[in-house]
Amino acid sequence: MNNFKKIGLTVLAGSMAAVSANAIELAVTGSTNVSHISEESAKSSTVGGSSLGVDTAIMFNGSGELENGWTVSTYAALNDGGAAALSSSQLTIGMGSLGTLRFAQHFGTAANGIDDVTPKVYEEVWDNSVGSAKLQGFGRQTAEGAVTYTTPSFNLGDASATLAVDYDPQAGVASNDHDAVSVASSSYGSGQAAVLKLDLGQGIKGGFGMEELTGQPGSSDETNMTAYVLYTVGSISAGVQAYNLDAGDKGAADYTGETYSVAFNVNDNLSIGYQKLKETKEAVGVTTSAKQDMQALSVAYSMGGMTLAVQQIDVDKANFSAGADQVDGEETEINLSFAF
């Protein structure tokens, strides 16, 4: 028996050596942003005022190649502007013709990557706005402690396609951080998502995504879907994206919405963009339907590693408020960033 154990260990050691990684190269980049934000809201004392802040991010990129031709890369971003220092972290294994496997500690999944893919000059129309958008939640519940498999690109004549599948064994909560105790969500069980991306050529791209969340006892299963079409010609890019959130059968409201945008590169340094988002909270029970509209105008000027961006956001019926409780607001952000 001991001899069999030795043979097994020898074979295992040989197989591990065959796929051992060469030296991993590590690159460190970063950026610093100085921003001024001013907000005004007609109906809320908790939103408004003016603030000045500095946000610094450091990104670590490591990559190496295994002896069998596979690649391994790791990415981690640290940001002092959020509640958590770690803003993104993934480990990616490139398996050649077998596709790509990604372990997402914090964001980086396929579904979360298409929450809003319409062209933008600065940030999304819902970023830092007076109201929050349901579209920005697509893929969010399956973005931490998840694994993603992406197929190689399939050629379809002049077009190409890729398919990615996400799986999160515990949706709606943070990853277990390797040495921490796993915490269950009070709303969700497991979650899975699928994303299909198409490149049709002639500057046309499209995609479709679906996220399904299993509900805990007393909560509903949820289905979240989105689809988009993008078109680029010369210095102009345009896009439209729609989504639908089916909240299940436990009395929660469903949501639908669409966003569209256009971005224009005036020259190599100057860009101008416009975004519009319209969302509807569907009627449920005795509660009537409600709407929320956002629009943003952005201008960005780049010179070397410096970018100056200005974004003006206007929101009507923020967070689907109506009547005497209706909240309309606007925000102006001026951001000066340096990449290093």
Write out the DSSP string of 237-288: EEEEEEEEEE--SSSPPPEEEEEEEEEEE-SSSEEEEEEEEEEEE--BTTBP
**What is the structure's pLDDT at 151?**
98
Sequence-distant (6+) residues with CB within 8 A of 76 are 59, 60, 86, 88, 89
Nearest in space to 333 (alpha carbons), one of 33, 34, 37, 32: 37
Q: What is the rounded end-to-end Cα distance, in angstroms, of the chain?
A: 59
Q: CA 62 → CA 42, 65, 76, 97, 260, distances in Å?
A: 48, 11, 9, 22, 36
**Residue of 8, 12, 43 whose CA lies nearest to 321:** 43
The pLDDT tens digits along the chain (340 residues) read: 444 333 333 333 444 444 444 567 889 999 999 999 888 765 544 555 778 888 899 999 999 999 899 999 999 998 885 545 778 899 999 999 999 999 999 899 999 999 999 999 999 988 877 778 877 889 999 999 999 999 999 998 889 999 999 999 999 887 776 655 567 777 888 999 999 999 999 999 999 999 999 987 777 889 999 999 999 999 999 999 999 999 887 778 899 999 999 999 999 999 999 999 999 999 987 788 999 999 999 999 999 999 999 999 999 998 888 887 888 888 899 999 999 8
Separation between Cα atoms, residue 88 and residue 142, nearest integer Å? 14
Closest listed residue to residue 337, CA positions, set 312, 304, 314: 304
Retrieve residue 144's tokens. 């931490």
User: 29 - beta bridge partners?
Assistant: 59
CA distance 44 to 33: 28
Please report the pLDDT score of residue 242 as a whole number: 96
For residue 135, which phi and psi values (nearest 5 degrees)?
-60, -35
Q: Exposure of 226 by Cβ count < 10 A (0-12 exposed, 13-18 middle, 19+ buried)?
A: buried
pLDDT of residue 42: 57
Contacts 24+ apart (CB under 8 A), 232-236: 232/203, 233/203, 235/264, 235/265, 235/266, 236/262, 236/263, 236/264, 236/265
Predicted structure pTM score: 0.86
Quick check: helix, strand or coil at residue 324?
helix
What is the reported pLDDT for 48? 58
Determine the pLDDT at residue 97.
94
pLDDT at 40: 78
Q: What is the dihedral of CA 61, 67, 69, 70, to 10 degrees?
A: -50
